[in-house]
Amino acid sequence: EVELTQSPGTLSGSLGERATLSCRASQSLNSKYLAWYRQQPGQAPRLLIFGASNRVTGIPDRFSGSGSGTEFTLTINRLEPEDFAMYYCQYYDYSVLTFGGGTKVEIK
Amino acid sequence: VKLQESGPRLVKPSETLSLTCSVSDDSITTNFYWGWLRQPPGKTLEYIGTVYHAGQTFYNPSLSSRVTISVDSSRNQFSLNLQSVTAADTAKYYCVRFGDWWVVDFWGQGALVTVSS
């Protein structure tokens, strides 16, 4: 079973700064099935990135995903107020979805 | 696509948690899979299981002995039953649609279910 470890657990940033979030897998992944979500307080998560690097229609281009194998990254350029939230990576394998533990992006 | 969870929000230990998801602005018989995730307070998301309108199901192995997911195409709904609940099953339960490449592209608003006597 794949395990996803996200780091850092909490990232403190300022408006306009760049944030880099990591998702590390316990084994090499098929990038096609790696996704990222943002969850604002009290809301359901929202899909940002699929296939490791493909931005969902309507998601601002300040969000980008990259990576392969066991190391994946979500980059947020120019943090905006709505970006202070929880972020989760997710993988699908053998009919099971697995989520990482999450990274909280908070205002410095 | 809109999804809405319904069902009791308080369940006693050892009893069965039952939730229904009503789907609107889409037919549950389209070529998508539907399912359930949950999120205990302050924790990450956990996959529960998946159902296809033809009845095919997949479950998280860690919950499979207690979970049943079923579909009612005539009502455009699908349901979750989780047996023998304990306090550890207290969570917000989300009904979802799985899009291409097994991402969750649509979510219900979530139903917070508390297990307590």
pLDDT bucket at A32, cuts 50 / 70 / 90? very high
pLDDT surpasses 90 at B53 = no
Residues from B in contact with A at Cβ < 8 Å: 37, 44-47, 50, 58, 60-61, 94, 99-105, 107-110
Peptide bond into A8 cis (omega under 30): yes
List pLDDT tens digits, range B3-18.
Answer: 999 999 999 999 999 9
Nearest-CA distance from A93 to chain B in Å?
9
Residue B53: closest CA among B74, B28, B75: B28
- Cα–Cα distance for residue pair B78/B71, rounded to 1 Å: 4
Nearest-CA distance from A34 to chain B in Å?
8
User: Which chain A positions have a beta carbon within 8 Å of B50's beta carbon?
Assistant: 95
- The residues near A102 (Cβ < 8 Å, ≥ 6 apart) are A6, A9, A39, A86, A87, A88, B44
> Which SS3 state, helix, strand or coil, does residue B17 take?
strand
- Cα–Cα distance for residue pair B117/B104, rounded to 1 Å: 33
List pLDDT tens digits, range A40-60.
Answer: 999 999 999 999 999 999 999
Q: Mean of the pLDDT values across residues A69-97?
A: 95
List pLDDT tens digits, range B81-103.
Answer: 999 999 999 999 999 999 989 99
> Which SS3 state, helix, strand or coil, does residue B75 take?
helix
- Cα–Cα distance for residue pair B53/B73, rounded to 1 Å: 7
Report the residue of B2, B3, B5, B44 to disrupt the A interface, i.e. the one with the largest count of A CBs within 10 Å.
B44
pLDDT surpasses 90 at A1 = no
pLDDT confidence of residue A24? 98
List pLDDT tens digits, range B103-117.
Answer: 999 999 999 999 999
